[in-house]
């Protein structure tokens, strides 16, 4: 994100109001300028002071209060907003906006803003499914208002069904994606592979590669925020799947190969950051291998080089590989560009201690198929992802 962005958060009166505090606290940590407008009903649930403390700005509610400076508040906030988020959004506020009613501070600001407006509804299942509410949502969507759909589960009233406010992470990531400046991957399909794969030895044992998946997840998030339609195929990882991407979990080389090939043809850009296992046991033991002998030998056979397979079949896709090297970084990475028919390779020196595996940082060199060598400074994995797409898009 370039400069500090302003998010105007509208809080309306439902039991999920307390969750809006968490959303605002998380947004504030992302270095956003937050201004809260509360409806009268919202103030019956939580006092403005809580929102004021978290947003570090005065909470606005009364349209006719004496202004501190000469400015018409709903107009100045409407102009200031880079985005308006309504959380929680009740059936009432959705209905008002859909029907052009502007009778309080929040609805007048929504009416006056040119910024994108996103609603995070929360209400009883029957209310949410009510045809009038659904018609209002449909109408607003057709007018380019955005919605973060509610989740299903046990609601405050005891009913089970759709209507729970979406979780904080989903709301925050949606807001950050909408605020992202660079939208140069709109209408592009990007496939990313991440994490390790495993090669099972018996029902309880496997071999694998060191990889947390952080680099691939950062690439998927960057592509998503730039507007791409992203598919992320990942081996086992403890990371939370990014919001708004198609997420496919795999375990073995074979599963990653199958899923990658299933999606390959329709992609514009494919980034293979996964640490794929090169070998698998010649014989998988269906029963647990007992520790009867003092030594154990297992024969391994070579598994498929997924990236090489893609390189052999690619048409117009831009193909990006990674190279994890402990020596002769440039020489080895350049060889992989040729043998795997790549457009770019992102090479990293795995012997470096404060970057690479498990770290949030990486220090890479990107090599193009034309032989251009671009060494990068140490930077976060997200910044590496940004540089990579900047390069692809030049």
Contacts 24+ apart (CB under 8 A), 179-183: 179/1, 179/5, 179/7, 179/32, 179/82, 179/83, 180/1, 180/225, 180/226, 181/1, 181/2, 182/225, 182/226, 183/226, 183/227
Nearer to ligand CTP, 231 or 253 (CB): 253
- Cα–Cα distance for residue pair 26/54, rounded to 1 Å: 9
Of residues 75, 157, 301, 374, which has the active-site annotation? 157
**Closest CB 382 distance from ligand CTP, rounded Å:** 19
226 neighbors 201 (Cβ within 8 angstroms): no
Does 322 count as an annotated binding residue? yes
- Cα–Cα distance for residue pair 128/110, rounded to 1 Å: 21
Active site residue 157: yes
**Beta pairing partners, 207:** 199
Nearer to ligand CTP, 268 or 325 (CB): 325
**Closest CB 197 distance from ligand CTP, rounded Å:** 8
34 neighbors 4 (Cβ within 8 angstroms): no
Nearest to 170 by CA among 120, 110, 227: 120
What does the DSSP 8-state code read for residue 40?
T
Nearer to ligand CTP, 25 or 208 (CB): 208
Nearer to ligand CTP, 150 or 321 (CB): 321
- Cα–Cα distance for residue pair 93/99, rounded to 1 Å: 10
Does 361 count as an annotated binding residue? no
**Closest CB 278 distance from ligand CTP, rounded Å:** 5
77 neighbors 110 (Cβ within 8 angstroms): no
Nearer to ligand CTP, 305 or 349 (CB): 305
194 neighbors 233 (Cβ within 8 angstroms): yes
CA 110 to chain CA mean position, Å: 26
Would you call the peptide bond into 368 cis, given omega within 30 degrees of 0 as the criterion?
A: no
Which residues are near ligand CTP by CB under 6 A?
253, 272, 274, 276, 278, 303, 305-307, 321-324, 336
Does 182 count as an annotated binding residue? no
**Binding-site residue ranges:** 278, 288, 322, 336, 340
Residues annotated as catalytic are 157
**Binding-site residue ranges for CTP:** 278, 288, 322, 336, 340
């Amino acid at each position: 994100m370039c400069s500090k962005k302003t998010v105007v958060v509208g809080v309306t009166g439902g039991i999920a109001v307390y969750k809006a505090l968490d959303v605002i606290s998380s947004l504030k940590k992302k270095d956003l300028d937050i201004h809260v407008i509360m409806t009268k009903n919202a103030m019956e649930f939580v006092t403005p002071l809580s929102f004021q403390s978290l947003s570090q700005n005065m909470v606005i509610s009364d349209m006719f209060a004496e202004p501190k400076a000469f400015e018409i508040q709903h107009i100045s906030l409407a102009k200031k907003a880079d985005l308006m988020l309504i959380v929680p959004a009740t059936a009432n506020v959705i209905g008002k906006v859909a029907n052009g009613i502007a009778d309080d501070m929040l609805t007048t600001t929504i009416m006056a803003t040119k910024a994108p407006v996103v609603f995070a509804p929360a209400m009883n299942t029957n209310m949410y499914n009510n045809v009038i509410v659904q018609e209002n949502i449909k109408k607003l969507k057709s007018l380019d208002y955005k919605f973060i759909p509610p989740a299903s589960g046990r609601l405050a009233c005891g009913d089970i069904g759709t209507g729970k406010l979406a979780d904080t992470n989903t709301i925050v990531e949606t807001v950050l994606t909408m605020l992202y400046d660079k939208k140069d991957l709109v209408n592009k399909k990007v496939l990313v592979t991440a994490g390790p794969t495993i090669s099972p030895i018996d029902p309880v044992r496997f071999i694998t590669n060191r990889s947390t998946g952080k680099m691939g997840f950062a690439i998927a998030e960057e592509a998503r925020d730039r507007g791409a339609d992203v598919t992320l195929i990942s081996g086992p990882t403890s990371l939370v799947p990014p919001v708004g991407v198609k997420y496919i979990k795999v375990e073995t080389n074979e599963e990653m190969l199958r899923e990658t090939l299933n999606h390959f043809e329709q992609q514009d850009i494919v980034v293979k950051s996964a640490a794929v296992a090169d070998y698998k046991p010649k014989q998988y033991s269906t029963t647990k291998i007992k520790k009867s002998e003092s030594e154990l030998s297992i024969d391994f056979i070579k598994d498929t080089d997924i990236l090489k397979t893609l390189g052999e079949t690619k048409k117009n896709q831009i193909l990006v590989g990674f190279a994890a090297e402990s020596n002769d970084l440039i020489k080895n990475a350049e060889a992989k560009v040729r043998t795997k028919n790549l457009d770019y390779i992102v090479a990293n020196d795995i012997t470096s201690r404060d970057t690479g595996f498990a770290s949030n940082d990486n220090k890479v060199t990107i090599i193009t198929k034309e032989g251009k060598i671009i060494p990068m400074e140490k930077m976060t994995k997200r910044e590496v992802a940004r540089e990579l797409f900047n390069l692809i898009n030049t």
